[in-house]
C-alpha cells in the first residue's frame, strides 16, 4: 500500500465520509480521486454509530463494505477513532460524560466535542470502541495509519465537569502532596482563598470579572493538557497492540492548552496539521496572530507544527470556502490559491497533503465548508486544480524529505505560552512580538523556526542556529537559564525582550532584581518599567544612529559590568536612558531590548545581526513572496510563493534549476497571481549563511 512521509515523494490524500453518501457513489468517488492523484483517504472520525448503533451492539458491516471498495480501488486508508462525537444513546444514558461550562451547565448532544476527558465512564466507552475498531481493522491491508479522535482541544479547550474537578484534585495532590504547599504555590493568602481541605478545591468556577486566582488557572491549564494527553495515550496504547508493521498513529491539529510536544512523544509517530489559511478572509473571525500577512500567517502555524514534529503531514488542507451555517464565512479560494496553500504546507516540510474534503456536505452545520466538489458532484475548477497539483507534486519528488532551513529561531516554552493566555500584561507583549518577528522574517526572506524549550531540549538543538530570539521569557527556570548561558558561551547570539524573568513557575513574582535569572547573562539591569500609554505616542530608540520603535512596553535599562548601552530612548520621561544593552559572554553575545518587537524593529534586529535575507546572493524576491528552503541529500530547494493577486517578479542572480519546467533559469522570472515555483540551488552555494553554518553576526 501507498506509504506516506517516507522521504521520497509527496503524497496527496483527501478526507472522505462514506457515511454521508449513498453507497452507490463510493466506487465512482474513489475512481475519480485516483484519477486526480489522491492515494490516501481519511475516514470514520465522526462515525461511532456506524460501529455501535446501540450500547454494546457492535457491527462492522458498513465499514467492511467500504473497505472492500477501498481495496478494489487500491486506496490507502487512515482510519480514525470516532470519539470526538459520542452517540446520543451514550450521552443520554450517562450525562456525566458531558463537558460543562464554568457555571457547571452541561454541554448537550447536538454538535461535537461535547465530552470530557476525565469521565471514567467515557474513558471506559472509549477504550472499548477503540479496542473493537483497531482490533477489526488493524491488520486490514489498506489501512496505513490511525488518527486518534479529531482535533483534541478544538472548539473547547476548557473542561468543567464534575469528573474534571475530581481529577484536578488528584493532579494537585500528586503535584503538591500537602495543602500547605498548594496554598503557598497559589498565593491563597491573597483575598483569603486559603484551602483547608482538598474537597474545597475546584476547577475554575464563575467568579467576579472572570478573574480566578492566576496561579490556580496556570495549574488548571497544565491539568487540561495532562488530561488531553492521557486521553490520547489511552487510545494510542490500545491501537499500538493492533498496529501493522510500518503503520503509524497520529492526530490532527495544534490546539491550545495542550503540550503538543509531550502529546507527540507519548502517543504519536508524528503530528498532522489542519491548514485553513482562508480563516484570514473570514468575515467574523480573523483567527490570526499576524493579521497583516493574512493567509501567509499560516506559515507561522506550520513552523509551530514543525517544531512539534520535524516530520509532519497535513490531514486537512483547505480546498474550498469556509462556513458553518452559524459562523466563519470566508470566500472560495481564488483560482491558484488551493495550490498556493498546499505549496505553503510543502515548503514548510509537509510531504503529505490531504484535502478537506472530497465533496461538500449537503447537510448539517458544515454545509458551507466546501470541499473539492460541490453538492452537484459535477467536475468543477477545484477538481481541475487538484489535477494540476498532482502533476506539480510529481515533479517535486526530488525535494521531498529533508529539513526546512531556518536562518534563526524563536524560542518558546509552554509555561510562557500559557501564562500569556491568562495574563493580559504578558499577552500584549507576546502577541506584538510574535507577529512582529514572524512578519519581519517573512518580509526579509529570512526563514525562521520555533524551538520549544522542553525538559529535553539539548544544546545541540539550539546550536543549529546562529541566533535565537526569546522575546519575553517572563517565566524562567534555572535549567533554561543555564542552557541559554551555554548557548551564548559557545558562540551563539541571544536576543531578549522586555519583561524577561519576573515570574517563577507558579506565575508569582519573586523579590529579585530584573531580569531575574538572566541578569548575569544579559548584563542588563532593569531600573524602571512601564506600559506605553496611548498618550505617549511612539517611543523611539536611537540604536547607534538607527531609529527603531519600542512597542507596547518599556524596561528602562542600565548596563552592568562588561556590557554596553547601545540604544537609548529618545522620548518620554526616560529619554536618554538605556533601551538596548549588548554584552559579550564567552564566545557569543546577548542583546536585551527593553520593549516588544514590532515588524520594523524586528527587521532592524535581523539586519544588524546579519540574518536578514540569507539567500540574497541567489535570489531577489519582492515582499509579497515568501521564500522557504528545504534541504535533503539531493540538494537545497528554494520555494517561492506569491501570495498576491498580482504577478510578482523574482530575480535569480545565479543559475538555478526549475523543478516545474525541468529547465535551468537565471534572471527575472514572473510568478503569476498566487503562483509558486520550486528551484534547486547550485551546490555549493557560497555566501549563504543559515542555520548550522559558520555565520556570526558582526559588531
Ligand atoms: C476542522 C475539523 C473538520 C471540519 C473542518 C471544517 O477543524 O477537523 O472536522 O470541521 O474543520 O470546519
Mutate to test the pocket of ligand 1, among 151, 315, 359 (most ligand atoms within 8 A of CB): 151
Query: Is 295 among the domain residues?
Result: yes
Residue of 316, 405, 430, 439 marked active site: 316
Which of 608, 628, 660 is the endpoint of a domain? 608
pLDDT at residue 698, as a whole number:
33
Q: 10 Å Cβ neighbour count for 378?
A: 8
Query: Is 136 among the domain residues?
Result: yes
User: pLDDT band for position 696 (50/70/90)?
Assistant: very low
Residue 480 confidence (pLDDT) above 70: yes
pLDDT tens-digit series, residues 66-96 = 999 999 999 999 999 999 999 999 999 999 9
Q: Does residue 16 have its Cβ closer than 6 Å to ligand 1?
A: no
Domain count, the chain: 3
What's the average model confidence in pLDDT over 284-289? 63
Centre of ligand 1 from the C-alpha of residue 483, in Å: 39
Centre of ligand 1 from the C-alpha of residue 287, in Å: 15
Query: Is 335 among the domain residues?
Result: yes
Q: Does residue 154 have its Cβ closer than 6 Å to ligand 1?
A: yes
| Residues in Cβ contact with 105 at an 8 Å cutoff, skipping those fewer than 6 apart | none
Query: Is 303 among the domain residues?
Result: yes
CA distance 484 to 496: 11
Structural domain containing residue 256: 11-83+117-157+230-400
Atom in ligand 1 nearest the alpha carbon of residue 276: 11
CA distance 696 to 566: 19
Which of 400, 434, 453 is the endpoint of a domain? 400
Q: Does residue 149 have its Cβ closer than 6 Å to ligand 1?
A: no
Residues 296 and 394 in one domain: yes
Q: Does residue 316 have its Cβ closer than 6 Å to ligand 1?
A: yes
Centre of ligand 1 from the C-alpha of residue 13, in Å: 16
Atom in ligand 1 nearest the alpha carbon of residue 252: 8
Q: Does residue 369 have its Cβ closer than 6 Å to ligand 1?
A: yes
Query: Is 211 among the domain residues?
Result: no
Q: Measured between alpha carbons, how far apart are the two ends of the chain, in Å?
A: 55
Q: Residue 684: is the preceding peptide bond cis (ω within 30°)? A: yes
CB 636 within 8 A of CB 629: yes
Residue 692 confidence (pLDDT) above 50: no
Residues 476 and 563 in one domain: yes
Atom in ligand 1 nearest the alpha carbon of residue 151: 8
Mutate to test the pocket of ligand 1, among 315, 327, 366, 371 (most ligand atoms within 8 A of CB): 366
DSSP-derived secondary structure letter, 425: H
What's the average model confidence in pLDDT over 114-123? 98
Residues 595 and 636 in one domain: no
Domain of 623, CATH number, reads 2.60.40.1180
Which protein residue's CA is at the shortest distance from atom 9 of ligand 1?
150
Query: Is 314 among the domain residues?
Result: yes
What's the average model confidence in pLDDT over 484-512? 98
pLDDT at residue 693, as a whole number:
45
Give the pairing of strands 448-452 and 408-412.
Answer: parallel
CA distance 398 to 603: 33
Q: Which residues share a beta bridge with 531?
A: 553
Centre of ligand 1 from the C-alpha of residue 274, in Å: 8
Q: Does residue 356 have its Cβ closer than 6 Å to ligand 1?
A: yes
Which protein residue's CA is at the shortest distance from atom 10 of ligand 1?
366
pLDDT at residue 287, as a whole number:
58
Cα–Cα separations (whole angstroms), residue 259 to 37, 153, 254, 256: 35, 11, 9, 8
pLDDT at residue 683, as a whole number:
78
Residues 328 and 374 in one domain: yes
Which of 546, 573, 608 is the endpoint of a domain? 608
pTM: 0.97
pLDDT at residue 687, as a whole number:
54
pLDDT at residue 53, as a whole number:
98
Residue of 151, 430, 549, 626 marked active site: 151
Query: Is 4 among the domain residues?
Result: no
Centre of ligand 1 from the C-alpha of residue 695, in Å: 43
Instruction: Give residue for cell 470566508.
Output: 330
Residues 393 and 420 in one domain: no
Q: Does residue 329 have its Cβ closer than 6 Å to ligand 1?
A: no
CA distance 551 to 7: 42
pLDDT tens-digit series, residues 389-414 = 999 999 999 999 989 999 999 999 99
pLDDT at residue 613, as a whole number:
95
The full 3-state SS of 109-137, as one line of letters, equals CCCCCCECCCCHHHHHHHHHHHHHHHHHH
Q: Which residues of 542-580 are buried (b: 16+ CB within 10 A; e: fewer)?
A: bbeeeebbbbbbbbbbebeeebeebbbbbebebeebbbb
Atom in ligand 1 nearest the alpha carbon of residue 315: 8
Residues 438 and 501 in one domain: yes
Atom in ligand 1 nearest the alpha carbon of residue 324: 12
Cα–Cα separations (whole angstroms), residue 358 to 16, 67, 75, 154: 6, 17, 14, 22
Residues 658 and 586 in one domain: no
Residues 377 and 261 in one domain: yes
Mutate to test the pocket of ligand 1, among 44, 45, 147, 150 (most ligand atoms within 8 A of CB): 150
What's the average model confidence in pLDDT over 369-377? 98
CA distance 473 to 85: 38
pLDDT at residue 355, as a whole number:
98
Residue 289 confidence (pLDDT) above 90: no
Domain of 122, CATH number, reads 3.20.20.80
Q: Does residue 151 have its Cβ closer than 6 Å to ligand 1?
A: yes
C-alpha closest to that of 567 among 531, 591, 543, 593: 543
pLDDT tens-digit series, residues 549-581 = 999 999 999 999 999 999 999 999 999 999 999
Residue 58 confidence (pLDDT) above 60: yes
pLDDT tens-digit series, residues 464-476 = 999 999 999 999 9
pLDDT tens-digit series, residues 519-542 = 999 999 999 999 999 999 999 999
Which protein residue's CA is at the shortest distance from atom 1 of ligand 1?
274
Residues 386 and 359 in one domain: yes
Q: Measured in whole angstroms, how far is the alpha carbon of residue 646 from the centre of its chain?
A: 29
CB 579 within 8 A of CB 568: yes
Q: Tell which wins on pLDDT, 418 or 289.
A: 418
Mutate to test the pocket of ligand 1, among 278, 356, 360, 365 (most ligand atoms within 8 A of CB): 356
Atom in ligand 1 nearest the alpha carbon of residue 45: 9
CA distance 542 to 577: 11
Q: Which residues share a beta bridge with 246?
A: none
pLDDT tens-digit series, residues 628-665 = 999 999 999 999 999 999 999 999 999 999 999 999 99
Q: Which stretches within 73-213 are classed as H helix?
A: 88-93, 120-137, 162-176, 179-186
Beta strand extents in 31-108 (DSSP E only): 38-43, 76-80
CA distance 642 to 688: 23
Q: Does residue 150 have its Cβ closer than 6 Å to ligand 1?
A: yes
CA distance 304 to 312: 11
- Give the phi and the psi of residue 114 in degrees, each rounded to 5: -100, 5
CA distance 32 to 6: 25
Q: What cell was used for 602? A: 524586528
Q: Residue 515: is the preceding peptide bond cis (ω within 30°)? A: yes
CA distance 24 to 31: 13
Measured torsion, CA atoms of residues 488, 494, 497, 502, in degrees rounded to the nearest 10: -20
Centre of ligand 1 from the C-alpha of residue 357, in Å: 9
CA distance 349 to 275: 13
Mutate to test the pocket of ligand 1, among 316, 322, 328, 329 (most ligand atoms within 8 A of CB): 316
Q: Tell which wins on pLDDT, 518 or 291.
A: 518
pLDDT tens-digit series, residues 587-630 = 999 999 999 999 999 999 999 999 999 999 999 999 999 999 99
Centre of ligand 1 from the C-alpha of residue 198, in Å: 39
Residues 414 and 382 in one domain: no
Q: Does residue 366 have its Cβ closer than 6 Å to ligand 1?
A: yes
Residue 113 confidence (pLDDT) above 50: yes
pLDDT tens-digit series, residues 4-31 = 999 999 999 999 999 999 999 999 999 9
Q: Which residues of 422-436 are buried (b: 16+ CB within 10 A; e: fewer)?
A: bbeebebbbebbbbb
2 is catalytic: no
C-alpha closest to that of 43 among 69, 60, 19: 19
Q: What cell was used for 607? A: 539586519
Query: Is 184 among the domain residues?
Result: no
Centre of ligand 1 from the C-alpha of residue 481, in Å: 40
pLDDT at residue 95, as a whole number:
98
Half-sphere exposure of 141 (CA within 13 A, CB side): 9
Residues 419 and 394 in one domain: no
Instruction: Give residue for cell 462556513.
Output: 323
CB 502 within 8 A of CB 528: no
Q: What cell was used for 263? A: 502529546
Centre of ligand 1 from the C-alpha of residue 612, in Å: 36
151 is catalytic: yes
C-alpha closest to that of 195 among 209, 210, 215, 211: 215
Atom in ligand 1 nearest the alpha carbon of residue 84: 9
Residues 543 and 675 in one domain: no
Domain of 554, CATH number, reads 3.40.50.880
Amino acid at each position: 500500500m501507498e506509504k506516506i512521509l517516507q522521504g521520497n515523494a509527496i503524497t496527496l490524500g483527501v478526507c472522505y465520509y462514506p457515511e454521508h453518501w449513498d453507497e452507490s457513489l463510493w466506487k465512482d468517488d474513489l475512481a475519480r480521486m485516483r484519477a486526480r492523484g489522491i492515494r490516501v483517504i481519511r475516514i470514520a472520525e465522526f462515525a461511532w454509530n456506524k460501529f455501535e448503533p446501540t450500547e454494546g451492539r457492535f457491527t462492522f458491516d458498513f465499514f467492511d463494505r467500504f473497505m472492500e471498495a477501498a481495496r478494489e480501488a487500491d486506496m490507502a486508508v487512515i482510519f480514525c477513532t470516532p470519539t470526538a462525537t459520542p452517540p446520543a444513546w451514550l450521552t443520554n444514558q450517562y450525562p456525566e460524560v458531558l463537558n460543562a461550562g464554568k457555571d457547571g451547565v452541561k454541554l448537550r448532544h447536538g454538535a461535537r466535542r461535547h465530552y470530557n476527558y476525565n469521565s471514567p465512564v467515557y474513558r471506559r466507552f472509549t477504550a472499548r470502541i477503540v479496542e473493537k475498531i483497531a482490533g477489526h481493522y488493524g491488520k486490514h491491508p489498506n489501512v496505513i495509519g490511525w488518527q486518534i479522535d479529531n482535533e483534541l482541544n478544538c472548539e473547547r479547550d476548557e473542561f468543567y465537569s464534575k469528573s474534571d474537578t475530581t481529577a484536578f484534585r488528584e493532579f494537585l495532590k500528586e503535584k503538591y502532596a500537602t495543602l500547605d504547599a498548594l496554598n503557598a504555590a497559589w498565593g491563597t493568602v491573597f483575598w483569603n482563598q486559603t484551602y483547608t481541605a482538598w474537597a474545597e478545591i475546584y476547577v475554575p468556577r464563575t467568579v467576579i470579572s472572570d478573574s480566578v486566582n492566576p496561579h490556580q488557572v496556570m495549574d488548571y491549564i497544565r491539568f487540561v493538557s495532562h488530561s488531553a494527553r492521557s486521553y490520547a495515550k489511552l487510545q494510542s496504547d490500545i491501537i499500538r497492540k493492533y498496529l501493522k508493521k510500518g503503520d503509524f498513529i497520529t492526530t490532527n491539529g495544534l490546539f491550545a492548552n495542550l503540550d503538543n510536544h509531550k502529546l507527540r512523544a507519548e502517543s504519536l509517530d508524528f503530528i498532522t496539521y489542519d491548514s485553513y489559511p482562508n480563516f484570514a478572509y473570514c468575515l467574523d473571525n480573523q483567527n490570526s496572530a499576524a493579521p497583516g500577512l493574512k493567509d501567509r500567517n499560516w506559515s507561522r502555524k506550520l513552523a509551530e507544527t514543525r517544531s512539534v514534529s520535524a516530520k509532519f503531514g497535513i490531514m486537512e488542507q483547505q480546498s474550498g470556502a469556509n462556513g458553518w451555517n452559524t459562523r466563519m464565512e470566508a470566500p472560495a479560494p481564488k483560482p491558484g490559491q488551493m495550490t498556493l496553500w498546499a505549496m505553503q504546507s510543502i515548503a514548510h516540510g509537509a510531504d503529505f497533503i490531504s484535502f478537506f474534503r472530497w465533496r461538500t456536505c449537503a447537510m448539517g452545520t458544515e454545509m458551507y465548508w466546501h470541499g473539492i466538489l460541490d453538492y452537484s458532484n459535477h467536475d468543477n475548477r477545484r477538481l481541475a486544480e487538484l489535477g494540476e497539483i498532482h502533476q506539480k507534486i510529481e515533479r517535486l519528488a526530488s525535494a521531498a524529505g529533508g529539513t526546512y532551513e531556518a536562518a534563526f529561531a524563536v524560542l518558546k516554552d509552554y509555561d510562557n505560552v500559557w501564562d500569556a493566555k491568562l495574563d493580559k500584561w504578558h499577552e500584549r507583549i507576546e502577541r506584538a512580538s510574535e507577529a512582529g518577528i514572524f512578519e519581519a522574517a517573512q518580509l526579509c526572506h529570512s526563514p525562521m523556526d520555533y524551538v520549544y524549550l522542553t525538559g529535553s531540549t539539548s544544546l545541540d538543538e539550539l546550536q543549529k542556529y546562529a541566533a535565537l530570539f526569546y522575546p519575553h521569557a517572563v517565566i524562567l527556570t534555572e535549567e533554561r537559564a543555564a542552557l541559554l548561558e551555554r548557548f551564548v558561551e559557545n558562540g551563539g547570539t541571544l536576543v531578549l525582550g522586555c519583561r524577561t524573568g519576573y515570574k517563577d513557575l507558579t506565575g508569582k513574582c519573586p523579590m529579585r532584581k530584573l531580569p531575574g535569572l538572566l541578569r548575569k547573562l544579559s548584563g542588563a539591569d532593569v531600573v524602571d518599567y512601564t506600559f506605553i500609554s496611548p498618550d505617549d505616542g511612539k517611543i523611539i530608540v536611537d540604536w547607534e544612529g538607527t531609529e527603531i520603535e519600542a512597542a507596547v512596553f518599556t524596561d528602562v535599562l542600565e548596563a552592568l559590568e562588561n556590557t554596553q548601552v547601545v540604544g537609548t530612548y529618545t522620548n518620554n520621561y526616560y529619554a536618554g536612558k538605556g533601551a538596548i544593552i549588548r554584552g559579550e559572554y564567552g564566545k557569543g553575545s546577548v542583546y536585551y531590548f527593553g520593549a516588544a518587537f514590532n515588524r520594523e524593529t524586528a527587521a532592524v534586529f535581523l539586519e544588524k545581526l546579519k540574518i536578514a535575507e540569507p539567500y540574497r546572493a541567489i535570489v531577489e524576491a519582492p515582499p509579497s513572496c515568501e521564500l522557504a528552503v528545504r534541504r535533503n541529500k539531493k540538494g537545497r530547494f528554494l520555494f517561492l510563493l506569491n501570495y498576491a493577486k498580482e504577478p510578482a517578479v523574482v530575480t535569480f542572480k545565479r543559475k538555478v534549476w526549475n523543478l516545474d519546467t525541468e529547465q535551468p533559469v537565471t534572471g527575472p522570472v514572473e510568478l503569476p497571481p498566487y503562483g509558486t515555483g520550486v528551484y534547486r540551488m547550485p551546490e555549493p552555494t557560497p555566501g549563504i549563511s543559515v542555520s548550522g553554518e559558520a555565520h556570526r553576526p558582526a559588531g
